[in-house]
Amino acid sequence: MNKKRWYILGPVLLMVLIVFDQLTKYLARQNLADGDFKIIDGFFSFRYVTNKGAAWGMLQGKVDILSIVSILLVGAVCYFYIKTPEDKKFNKMRFLSVCVVAGAFGNLIDRIFMGEVTDFLYFELIDFPIFNVADIYITVAMFVFIFLMLFYYKDDDLDFISFKKKTSKEPNKEEKKENKEEN
């Protein structure tokens, strides 16, 4: 899929993910106020809580700072999305970028309009901190992104991320290909 298609698909996918996140939070606020909903007793349940901080309750009450950080994160990821090369092997990065932005926006919407983030997914078995769908988008996307960086992409595949201008006279991939064809 070429880059132009991703400029259409990316925003559409972004909106779908944000709407799904907001819908699940709305349903949690409407249906879980009276108590937990057990999915697998002793293992997993829906439990409505609000969080005025970041992940795992860090930075409680710092909604303004977290909102600014979210906006900066979204800006950085959008820049990354735009700079990503057209090669189809980078479609994974584009998809992961959309997931990170959707998660950041999903929680930013909560912070701006309610002053807190709605969380409702709870793994009772391990007493894991309660989280939401936006958190899943960000966490899973970042784990996959790290995996790809370590095992899929090569160092020179990621040259587009660098802010440095290339100063070496070493030919790039296209120039190397042209040189081989000439010889």
Which listed residue (41, 87, 119, 155) is catalytic? 119
The CA-based dihedral angle spanning residues 148, 68, 120, 55, taken in that order and rounded to the nearest 10 degrees: 60
Where would I find the beta strands (DSSP E) of the chain?
A: 37-40, 44-51, 117-123
Total count of residues recorded for the chain: 183
- Each domain of the chain, given as residue ranges in start order, spans 3-182
d(CA 96, CA 115): 27
The predicted pLDDT at position 160 comes to 77
Which listed residue (41, 87, 135, 157) is catalytic? 135
Is there a catalytic annotation at residue 135? yes
d(CA 169, CA 103): 41
The predicted pLDDT at position 24 comes to 98
Supply the pTM of this predicted model: 0.81
The predicted pLDDT at position 49 comes to 93
The predicted pLDDT at position 13 comes to 97
Q: Is 78 helix (H, G, I), strand (E, B) or coil?
A: helix
Q: What is the pLDDT of residues 19-53, one digit of tens each?
A: 999 999 999 999 998 888 999 999 999 999 998 87
Burial level of 44, CB count in 10 A (0-12/13-18/19+)? middle
Is there a catalytic annotation at residue 155? no
Show pLDDT as tens, one digit a residue, over the chain (183 residues).
Answer: 666 788 899 999 999 999 999 999 999 999 998 888 999 999 999 999 998 877 666 667 677 888 888 899 899 998 888 888 888 888 899 999 999 999 999 999 999 999 899 999 999 989 888 999 999 999 999 999 999 989 988 878 877 777 666 555 556 666 666 666 665
The predicted pLDDT at position 53 comes to 72
Report how far apart the first and last C-alpha atoms of the chain are (Å, whole number). Answer: 32
The predicted pLDDT at position 173 comes to 60
